């Protein structure tokens, strides 16, 4: 029996894709990577995933799990391996309003979970631009972040339990609904962020939170990044930690936005150096119920805080959203970041994280260093400032591999010196393997290799990703 024959017998021929049917699986969103799978299989449930894994093990074929294919680091690429798409594992099994959990399968698109939670007056607080195509399995596998990490944490913090199919086909049931469980190792954390190198996530128990009754949203110009952090801290104190997003868009970002999308209104004239999008979410009726004049308390609080900082000279200008349309327009400016970045090439894209009080220092240092590396280089930054995550892009004067490596290593130097990480929320995949080899603690890499060898001794689960080859 051949591999394809065995797979067709287990799943049905319609769900074993080959030839021209592979076209939509062979590229990624960045267009930087091209896959060449032997086939794409689309199992319908966990048991079928288990069958696929057993068949692949019998034939000695690598398996690469794929979901929404919105990744940016080449984590779902293969040359000759078997792609396992979770797109048919797309059931929201249950929403439990009283315990505020959702039991979902790996192929559920993020937006569908948002809609299902909102129907119960709840919220799944993982929010980023690719939410219309990204799937639960993918966001768990990369430990995705987004704009709301400041208040709710990354995907890891939102997951109570998972179900995983191991390389040999065994089903590992970790579908806990518990908030406390000290019965040994927290195994689910091994698989979250592992990018499919240890097993295939097939389902999960995710936390829900109360849906905000009102949002207070503003775009402001701060005198400096340190002043912006003072504003963040004041708002956190005033609102009891209800700041949901605190996004930084410098003047270079706004200029690039104006070039790429002249149809999008700019917030300030003249253009300001430090632009911040801030959003506060109110769940308590006292903060969200309009008064007799139609004023919303949480919006009044935001305005009062901004006004005080304008008097101090730390906030230079501000506009507060008065309607949902105005709020969406503010968010559109921020969520166009990926579009306006990839539209210009060649681009050297980094996804880094720093202590929040070191973001300004990093930017000063790397901009001072960059002219010595490439006199014609330009930069574009956008940041989840509240959690220190910067998407720092360099548009180099040429497309050479040498310049790419030189710039990335310079970024790594400055990040490491300031106690940061070269990888924040996009995962490692293929693109950050050199960084892992250069910067990850060698003992940590040894431990990762030991875990990988224990769970996947034949190195068939998404091989060549996350963990660099060991030097011999």
pLDDT tens per residue, range 147-163: 999 999 999 999 999 99
Q: Are 151 and 242 in contact (CB under 8 A)?
A: yes
pLDDT at 72: 75
The overall average pLDDT reported for the chain is 94
Q: Are 81 and 47 in contact (CB under 8 A)?
A: no
Q: What residues are paired with 203 via a beta bridge?
A: 105, 163
Q: Are 440 and 422 in contact (CB under 8 A)?
A: no
Phi first, then psi, for residue 73 (nearest 5°) are -125, 15
Task: Give the count of beta carbons closer than 10 Å to the beta carbon of residue 418.
Answer: 17
In degrees, rounded to 5, the angle at the alpha carbon of residue 212 between the alpha carbons of residues 211 and 213 is: 110
Strand order from edge to edge, sheet including 214-222:
315-320, 214-222, 274-282, 243-250, 378-384, 389-395, 348-353
Cα 66 to Cα 45: distance, rounded to the nearest angstrom: 15
* Furthest CA-CA distance within the chain: 77
pLDDT at 1: 64
Q: What is the pLDDT of residues 12-70, one digit of tens each?
A: 999 999 999 999 898 776 677 888 999 999 999 999 999 999 999 999 999 999 998 88
Phi first, then psi, for residue 441 (nearest 5°) are -55, 130
Q: Are 151 and 100 in contact (CB under 8 A)?
A: no
Share of the chain above pLDDT 70, in %: 99
For 386, half-sphere exposure in the C-beta direction (CA atoms, 13 angstrom radius) is 28
Cite the DSSP H helix spans in 217-267.
225-239, 251-260
Share of the chain above pLDDT 90, in %: 87
pLDDT at 470: 84
Cα 247 to Cα 340: distance, rounded to the nearest angstrom: 16
Cα 152 to Cα 140: distance, rounded to the nearest angstrom: 15
Structure confidence at residue 359 as a pLDDT band (50, 70, 90): very high
Can you tell me the mean pLDDT for 110-136? 94
Can you tell me the mean pLDDT for 125-144? 92
Helix axes 359-373, 401-417, angle to 10 degrees: 150
Taking alpha carbons only, the member of 119, 79, 122 closest to residue 99 is 122
Terminal C-alpha separation, the chain: 38
Cα 42 to Cα 15: distance, rounded to the nearest angstrom: 5
Taking alpha carbons only, the member of 195, 146, 196, 201 closest to residue 427 is 195
Q: What is the pLDDT of residues 292-348, one digit of tens each?
A: 888 899 999 999 999 999 999 999 999 999 999 999 999 999 999 988 998 888 999
pLDDT at 430: 86
Can you tell me the mean pLDDT for 397-409? 94
Task: Give the count of beta carbons closer than 10 Å to the beta carbon of residue 262.
Answer: 9
pLDDT at 472: 63
State the pTM of this model: 0.93
pLDDT at 343: 84
pLDDT at 461: 97
Cα 208 to Cα 101: distance, rounded to the nearest angstrom: 5
């Amino acid at each position: 029996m051949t591999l394809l024959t065995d797979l067709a017998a287990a799943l049905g021929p319609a769900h074993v894709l080959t030839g021209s049917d592979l076209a939509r699986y062979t590229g990624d969103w960045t267009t930087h990577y091209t896959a060449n799978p032997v086939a794409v299989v689309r199992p319908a449930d966990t048991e079928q995933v288990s069958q696929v894994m057993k068949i692949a093990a019998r034939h000695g074929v690598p398996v690469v799990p794929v979901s929404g294919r919105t990744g940016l680091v080449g984590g779902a690429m293969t040359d000759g391996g078997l792609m396992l798409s979770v797109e048919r594992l797309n059931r929201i099994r249950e929403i439990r309003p009283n315990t505020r959990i959702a039991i979902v399968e790996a192929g559920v698109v993020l937006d569908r979970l948002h809609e299902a939670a909102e129907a119960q007056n709840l919220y799944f607080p993982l929010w980023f631009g690719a939410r219309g195509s990204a799937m639960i399995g993918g966001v768990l596998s990369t430990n995705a972040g987004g704009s709301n990490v400041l208040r709710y944490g990354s995907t890891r913090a939102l997951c109570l339990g998972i179900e995983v199919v191991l390389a040999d086909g065994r089903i590992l049931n970790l579908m806990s609904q518990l908030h406390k469980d000290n019965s040994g190792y927290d195994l689910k954390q091994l698989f979250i962020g592992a990018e499919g190198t240890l097993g295939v996530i097939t389902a999960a128990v995710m936390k829900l939170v109360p849906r905000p009754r009102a949002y207070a949203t503003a775009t402001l110009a701060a005198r400096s990044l340190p002043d912006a952090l003072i504003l963040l801290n004041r708002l956190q104190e005033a609102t009891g930690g209800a700041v949901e997003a605190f996004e930084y868009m410098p003047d270079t970002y706004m200029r690039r936005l104006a070039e790429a999308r002249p149809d999008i209104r700019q917030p300030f004239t003249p253009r300001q150096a430090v632009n911040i999008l801030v959003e506060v979410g109110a769940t308590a009726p006292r903060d969200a119920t309009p008064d007799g004049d139609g004023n919303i308390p949480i919006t009044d609080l935001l305005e009062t805080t901004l006004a005080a900082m304008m008097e101090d000279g730390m906030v230079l200008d501000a506009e507060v959203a008065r309607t949902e349309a105005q709020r969406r327009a503010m968010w559109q400016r921020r969520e166009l970041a990926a579009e306006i970045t990839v539209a210009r090439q060649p681009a050297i894209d980094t996804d880094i994280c720093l202590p929040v009080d070191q973001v300004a220092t990093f930017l000063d240092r790397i901009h001072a260093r960059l002219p010595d590396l490439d006199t014609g280089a330009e930069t574009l930054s956008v940041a989840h400032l509240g959690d220190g995550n910067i998407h720092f892009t360099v548009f180099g004067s040429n497309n050479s591999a040498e310049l790419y490596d030189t710039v990335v290593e310079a970024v790594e130097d400055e990040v490491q010196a300031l106690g940061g990480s070269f990888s924040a929320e996009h995962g490692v995949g293929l693109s950050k393997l050199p960084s892992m080899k250069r910067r990850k603690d060698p003992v940590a890499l040894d431990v990762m290799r030991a875990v990988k060898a224990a769970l996947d001794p034949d190195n068939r689960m998404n091989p060549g990703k996350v963990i660099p080859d060991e030097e011999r």
